[in-house]
Amino acid sequence: MPTVDLHHGSSMVSSAINLLKTIIGAGLLSIPYSYSTDGSILGTVIILLAALTSGYGLFLQGYVSQYAPLGHATFFNICSITYPSLSVVFDIAIAVQCFGCALSYLVLIGDLMPTIITSLSFISEEHYRTFWILASTVICVPLSFMKNLSSLQYTSVLGLIAIFYMALLVVAHFLIDDIPDSSKGEIRLFPPNILGVFSTFSIAVFAFTGHQNMFSIINEAKDKSLKSITELINIAIIASSVLFIVVGLAGYSTFGDKVNGNVILLYPNSWTTTLGRLCIVFMVVFSFPLMFHPARISVNNIYHTIYSKITEMKENASSEDETTSLLDDASQEIHETGSVLEDLSRKTTVVPFTHNVFLIITTILLIIGYTLAITIKSFALVLAIIGATGSTAISFILPGLFGYKLIGSEVDYPSKTDLLLKSCSLALVIWGFGVMFLCLYTTLFMGSY
């Protein structure tokens, strides 16, 4: 295991807040709906299974980050160590998934704000939705131009407060039991049929997705040791698991099988529920930059790769063949020199991100995002497909592939612990592909979205 020096950076509390905020999002409101098809017992088991597999994926990201240059761990760099030819493909998946999530937040703002503030005298009804989407630029745009996630520590705290208020609202209604019997359905311990479980399976799986920002959180952490990163992951996974289970059971126990995909819309109109809906808007506004950040990094990686290839071809066509030959012989060269970590580090690339390129990419992505949010009214199916592919890839498949390739690679004879971790990494890859095909099947053929 490579050693890691400690540098100044974000504290454990700051890193935990950002990771927790990345994991817990608007999907929290759909957890009760997954219980309606899974039943109370199996629903809890599925959430715990999703927590375990997602947590291991985060752990693998923390482990393999220490094979990259200190403070420069990214999907791109780890791919260049393990599977260099696939770096751009993986960055495209990350960019599409994260940008799609950020885009969905803008659409959600446009859908919810008209139900909170029902009219404005100076805005016509047909432009009301567009007005609220554009109004979000006041907050979203400045936050999107921040370069470091640590800058979002305090907004993440406010976002977590909004999340906990929604959770408190769901639990309070359950304890008070003030919902009319006509709004309640049947409550089951086990699912009535297995097909229903498949139709909502992705809700629990994707609820724990925070892997898109994990490398950025590690890079900015003060203590980048595996022990500290593991503690950070445990805090975030345990806290989010407890919250998902409590809200899921409370919401399901309140409405039974009549619960829908957004539980907060089922409660009677009052100042508390209006505040809850406002909390959703508040939460997604401050979640937008957390999704925008990794999307921008991936776009820069794609740009850098394309630009470098074009420049290289112009300078000398033969140099490409020599570089490729060196990369192909890298594993043999590492074995011969016996200095694995040094050779791995040389294979990584610290992708430059100049200020001008940062401004250009950020501006272009914001313009595209807001244009799509205004013009496209509903794209739930598209987002479901993006989540089933991109999100599954960065949560399970990529971390598993990275772990299987790198764990124990610095020694000739890996320890039993390393071999066990490699086996679990391979199992995570298989799990990821299984989840991907299952979610795609339920999305395209069972109409779950």
Spatial contact of 73 and 65, defined as CB atoms under 8 Å apart: yes
Please list the rounded mean pLDDT of every run of 10 residues in the chain (449 residues).
52 83 80 89 93 94 88 82 82 83 85 82 83 91 79 68 88 89 85 76 80 86 89 94 94 89 81 85 82 87 83 67 46 41 53 86 94 74 67 88 90 87 95 86 66
- Note whether residue 24 is domain-resident: yes
- Note whether residue 3 is domain-resident: no
- Note whether residue 382 is domain-resident: yes
Owning domain of residue 211? 12-313+355-446
What pLDDT digit, counting tens, does each position of 136-172 carry?
Answer: 999 889 988 887 766 666 666 777 788 888 899 999 9
What pLDDT digit, counting tens, does each position of 205-260 carry?
Answer: 778 888 888 988 898 888 888 899 999 999 999 999 999 999 999 999 999 888 87
- Note whether residue 329 is domain-resident: no
Rounded-to-integer distance, Cα 149 and Cα 163, Å: 19
Rounded-to-integer distance, Cα 311 and Cα 74, Å: 23
If we measure between CA atoms, which residue out of 19, 29, 8, 296 comes closest to residue 156?
19
Rounded-to-integer distance, Cα 236 and Cα 85, Å: 33
- What pLDDT, on a 0 to 100 scale, did the predictor assign at position 323? 47
The CATH number given to whatever domain includes residue 391 is 1.20.1740.10
- What pLDDT, on a 0 to 100 scale, did the predictor assign at position 328? 47
- What pLDDT, on a 0 to 100 scale, did the predictor assign at position 154? 66
Measured in degrees and rounded to the nearest 5, phi and psi for residue 241 equal: -65, -45
Q: Between vectors from CA 45 to CA 40 and to CA 50, what angle results, nearest 5°? A: 125
Total domains, the chain: 1
- Note whether residue 319 is domain-resident: no
How many residues in total does the chain contain? Answer: 449
How far from 269 is each of 53, 55, 176, 257, 295, CA to CA, in Å?
A: 38, 37, 16, 21, 37
- Note whether residue 2 is domain-resident: no
Rounded-to-integer distance, Cα 407 and Cα 281, Å: 42
- Note whether residue 367 is domain-resident: yes
Spatial contact of 380 and 319, defined as CB atoms under 8 Å apart: no
Q: HSE-up of 212 (CA within 13 Å, CB side)?
A: 36
